[in-house]
């Protein structure tokens, strides 16, 4: 089931709805779900967040049970929450393979817009090489697993205010910057990004 929101969605109600969805999937009351949405400006702290990486909390900060460190969400960034029963979708549930699937989903989606997204050892998320040879993060990944049901998910920067990332050390990485599709001169719409995300989501990557 896919849910696509054209409106800004507050974070806490979404988190509660995800928790309920996980419970419903666990008890067989619902199937896997994907939600595509935007949040108002905010920071979230993963289970590995270091308080010293919260540099300037100009927006609300939410503690969350997902993996990872601090990240930013805000308008112009597409968040994709994926609630998936890994026991049903994989012969042997494997968190690393699930993360690899999410990375591949992002890479293929960016590729539709001639943006080469890449993995980097020791760095979470998807990265691009800028014209000056530096590297910048364009997409983030943060998941949580409960009873082998995955939730939380990914975010891709379409055209957020990149200065808002300055309030944190994104994902604990201070040596590299953050970019977006629009900053890379790909002036696509959110609808076009949503379509690419839907076209490139592939359960076969888990087999």
Q: For residue 138, give the 3-state DSSP assignment.
A: strand
What backbone torsions phi and psi does residue 107 show, to the nearest 5 degrees? Answer: -60, -45
Distance CA 103, CA 82 (A): 13
Structure token digits, residue 109 = 């989606």
Residue pair 200/82 in contact (Cβ under 8 Å)? The answer is no
Which of 171, 181, 196, 197 is an active site residue?
171
14 is catalytic: no
Query: What is each CA distance from 15 to 19, 44, 62, 100, in whole angstroms?
Result: 6, 11, 10, 24
Catalytic residues: 171
């Amino acid at each position: 089931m896919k849910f696509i929101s054209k409106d800004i969605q507050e974070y806490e109600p979404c988190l509660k709805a995800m928790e309920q969805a996980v419970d419903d999937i666990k008890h067989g009351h619902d199937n896997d779900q994907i939600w595509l949405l935007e949040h108002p400006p905010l920071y979230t702290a993963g289970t590995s967040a270091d308080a010293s990486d919260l540099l300037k909390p100009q927006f609300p900060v939410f503690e969350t049970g997902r993996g990872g460190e601090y990240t930013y969400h805000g308008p112009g960034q597409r968040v994709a929450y994926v609630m998936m029963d890994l026991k049903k979708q994989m012969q042997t549930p494997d968190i690393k393979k699930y993360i690899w699937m999410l990375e591949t989903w992002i890479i293929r989606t960016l590729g539709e817009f001639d943006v080469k997204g890449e993995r980097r050892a020791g760095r979470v998320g998807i990265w691009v090489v800028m014209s000056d040879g530096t590297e910048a993060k364009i997409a983030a990944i943060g998941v949580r697993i409960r009873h082998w049901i995955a939730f939380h998910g990914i975010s891709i920067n379409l055209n957020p205010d990149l200065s808002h990332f300055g309030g944190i050390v994104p994902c604990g990485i201070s040596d590299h910057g953050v970019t977006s599709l629009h900053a890379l001169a790909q002036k696509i719409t959110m609808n076009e990004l949503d379509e690419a995300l839907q076209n490139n989501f592939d359960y076969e990557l888990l087999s």
